Structure 1
Amino acid sequence: MGCNSCSTGKDGQPRGCRNNGTCGSDGCNKLTVFDWLSNMSLPAGQQHFDGVEVRFKNSRKEFFRNTEKLSLSIGDVVATQVKSGHDIGIVTLTGELVRVQMKKKKIDPEDETLPKIYRKATQRDIDKWQKCRNQEEEIKKRSREMAILLKLEMKISDVEFQGDGSKATFYYTAEDRVDFRQLIKDMAKAFGIRIEMRQIGYRQEAQRLGGIGSCGRELCCSTWLTDFRSVSTAAARYQQLSLNPQKLAGQCGKLKCCLNYELDVYLEALKDFPPQDCKLSTQKGLAFCQKTDIFKETLWFSYKDDPSNWHALTKDQVKEILAKNRDKKKIASLEEYAAENSRDEELIFENAVGQDSLTRFDRPKNRNKRKKRRKSKNRNKKTTARNA
């Protein structure tokens, strides 16, 4: 997404909206919440909720108290309280919706120990903050080189500076536990700042870095998805998907989160289907289920002695055959039921636009040519007859 104030530089690259990549109107940010209560006034006698949601780099959001009763709106850059010093962030939500968001994330709205907002950020604060942001890529590169020299099996994926430049948080991913005490000493000596190492999962790494998925849209985890539920291969089996890890895995290397989106609908539809391991007893032999199509409500069966030939049966037909088998009755063959479903319907293509075939413009030309040839021949005959 992009706000109206985003522009393009002379070299064709996006220049942003004069905030160096951080949208002032909050239109380009991740996990943005629409404030549908902004145009509504509070009832008489009710005080404005002093909670404020502030967004920092990427998708990190935290809640603060507006104890100074500052006039804040979405997009304001503020200086917030941290353990030591201050941090710079952008206001993403104010008012009663902050209370709803806090309850959703299981944070007590009446908690008085929440950090506070000091003030609106001055131009000096913003300049210092942007200077630190510009150093993050170079520091991330140097920290990766230090980790490689120490032979640490970890990947530093992102670096986030504190607003006052006194501290930097390094986000990393690793399979096992990593002893990075020597790495912290080397980085603190090289960069002259306080270092904090924070391990994140592979899904959280993709959320912070962002990207484009195989569907052509931005990653769900970096735009709107906040909770990461476990995804198993059973979700792909229920949806009749091929277990190809290259197609089912996302940019994080794990199974795609979108496999869970329609899983409940498939499970609900499969409740009315016969079990996948059902067997049909016929006079020609035992038949096994090979494939199920939930949308067409069709099941394909094949005989034990002839597994290459499949016979399509409807869901109701399979239930009918299973009911007969429970009464110890065998049907003659699957072909009798499959013949009822194999009635070929003639495809009739209607001319919806009022046009004929694609060669409709070629036929008149050919006819006209033939007419011209005939006329020319008749003229030649007439001329030869006169001359004679």
Structure 2
Amino acid sequence: MEEKDRKCPRGKLHCFNWMEDIPGGVTDFDIVEVQFKNTRKGFYRNSANIDLAIGDTVAVESAPGHDIGVVTLTGKLVALQMRRANVKPDAEIKRVFRKAKPADLEKYEEAKARENDTMIRARKIAESLNLNMKIGDVEYQGDGNKAIFYYIADERVDFRQLIKVLADTFKVRIEMKQIGARQEAGRIGGIGSCGRPLCCASWMTNFVSVGTSAARYQDISLNPQKLAGQCAKLKCCLNFEVDTYVESARHLPGREIRLETADNTYFHFKTDIFKKEITYSTDKQIAANLVTISAARAFEVIDMNRRGEKPLQLQADDAEKSSAKAKPIDLASQDD
């Protein structure tokens, strides 16, 4: 089989099979992971022992009929993914019917082409029924016999009448699924302020609550417009590095500690966590007479203050000499 057939298809929640080169990795486990539209994934048993590879389009068991998806993972790694998704060993696993035939794909494309129009019409129907909800996405099953409506609502919605109207209008089986603002952003996709595709649409499979404390630990300005993502919630990436900041901050003196010298009292102004440098000011409210010292020097001064001693200056003597010797490099002078 060609190498390109073994690669995961480009799209959302792309994966990398790091156990691909292990002998017998594909045959040791008869369950495969299949991805459908956007962020929906499922696990299916390859009971017919079909030769499946990552990237194959398959028809899988559904209720009712069948659905069309793409194989995204095979082999032993699927067992780890099932454990991560909290799929119980005794759970009922549906089957893989076959590799998708041209007739299956043709019907699947026809169903996909109806999704956008169905979503717009469904929004108008929900509005006419005075339901306080937003239908964010519609996903048709591969055989076109069922449609999943993803909606957002701030409170509980009685959509029994809506289901009847939708079933009569579109002549399919209706399933309603409530999602949050983060899940909606993951399904729709987009480009974040960093210039990259949204994490929730490209690789994130679960969402962890994000608090403003994550921004405080990283000394990020508490500006709601900059901290919020396209879902209007705090950006998930605020959590990515906060553990590193918290761990590094443990090796630095507390921000509430004052440093006493012979002629001044210094208050914490800012911290460069990764350089382990702290800048102190002689005024608690504004930047005045700023002095930057290392964390080691700060701990040294704290110990002296505890013993009742006050150094003549905040900086160490050798620090003054090294700063005096250091000169800025003029790159323009190198052209001569």
TM-score range, shorter chain: 0.7 to 0.9
TM-score of the pair, normalised by structure 1: 0.76
Within 2, Cα distance between the matches of 1:173 and 1:320? 56
Within 2, Cα distance between the matches of 1:152 and 1:338? 72
Aligned twin of 1:348: 329
After TM superposition, the structure 1 stretch with the greater mean CA deviation from structure 2, 23-32 or 292-301, is: 23-32
How much does 1:121 deviate? 2.5
Asked if the contact 1:312–1:338 (Cα under 8 Å) also holds between the matched residues in 2, the reply is no
Matching of residue 208 in structure 1 with residue 190 in structure 2: no
Taking the TM superposition and a 5 Å limit, the aligned residue runs for 1:76-225 are 76-108=56-88, 111=90, 113-225=92-204
How much does 1:141 deviate? 0.7
Structure 1 gap ranges (5+): 6-22, 357-388
Asked if the contact 2:281–2:291 (Cα under 8 Å) also holds between the matched residues in 1, the reply is no
Aligned twin of 1:383: none
CA deviation map 1:325-358 (0-9, x unaligned):
2123344565898993864732233579x743xx
How much does 1:86 deviate? 1.6
**For the aligned residues, what is the CA RMSD?**
3.1
Aligned twin of 1:31: 13
CA deviation map 1:192-229 (0-9, x unaligned):
22211111111111111111111111111211222222
Paired residues in the alignment total 332
Aligned twin of 1:318: 298
CA deviation map 1:34-88 (0-9, x unaligned):
3344455439xx9642111111111211001111222222222222112222211
Within 1, Cα distance between the matches of 2:292 and 2:224? 31
Asked if the contact 1:311–1:334 (Cα under 8 Å) also holds between the matched residues in 2, the reply is no
Structure 2 gap ranges (5+): none
Within 2, Cα distance between the matches of 1:131 and 1:342? 71
CA deviation map 1:278-335 (0-9, x unaligned):
1223454543212222234332323358844142231233222221221233445658
Taking the TM superposition and a 5 Å limit, the aligned residue runs for 1:216-235 are 216-235=195-214
After TM superposition, the structure 1 stretch with the greater mean CA deviation from structure 2, 303-312 or 48-57, is: 303-312
Amino acid at match of 1:53: E
Amino acid at match of 1:150: L
Aligned twin of 2:269: 290
Higher relative contact order (CA 8 A, sep 6+): 2
Aligned twin of 1:57: 37
Within 2, Cα distance between the matches of 1:241 and 1:145? 41
Amino acid at match of 1:348: I
Asked if the contact 1:317–1:337 (Cα under 8 Å) also holds between the matched residues in 2, the reply is no
How much does 1:273 deviate? 0.8
TM-score of the pair, normalised by structure 2: 0.87
Q: Structure 1 288/38 Cα, relative in aligned 2: closer, same or farther at 3 Å?
A: closer
Asked if the contact 2:7–2:55 (Cα under 8 Å) also holds between the matched residues in 1, the reply is yes
Within 2, Cα distance between the matches of 1:34 and 1:221? 17
Amino acid at match of 1:324: M
Asked if the contact 1:285–1:304 (Cα under 8 Å) also holds between the matched residues in 2, the reply is no
Aligned twin of 1:240: 219
Q: Which has the larger radius of gyration?
A: 1
Partner of 1:28, secondary structure, is coil
Within 1, Cα distance between the matches of 2:244 and 2:194? 21
Within 1, Cα distance between the matches of 2:36 and 2:160? 27
Within 2, Cα distance between the matches of 1:68 and 1:256? 44
Amino acid at match of 1:77: T
Aligned twin of 1:268: 247
Aligned twin of 2:24: 42
Within 2, Cα distance between the matches of 1:100 and 1:287? 53
Within 1, Cα distance between the matches of 2:326 and 2:65? 76
Within 2, Cα distance between the matches of 1:106 and 1:95? 18
CA deviation map 1:231-286 (0-9, x unaligned):
21111111111111111211111121222222222112111111011122345454
Partner of 1:116, secondary structure, is strand
Asked if the contact 1:53–1:93 (Cα under 8 Å) also holds between the matched residues in 2, the reply is yes
Amino acid at match of 1:345: A
How much does 1:105 deviate? 2.1
Aligned twin of 2:236: 257
How much does 1:159 deviate? 0.5
Amino acid at match of 1:168: A
Q: Structure 1 273/25 Cα, relative in aligned 2: closer, same or farther at 3 Å?
A: closer
Amino acid at match of 2:77: L
Partner of 1:258, secondary structure, is helix
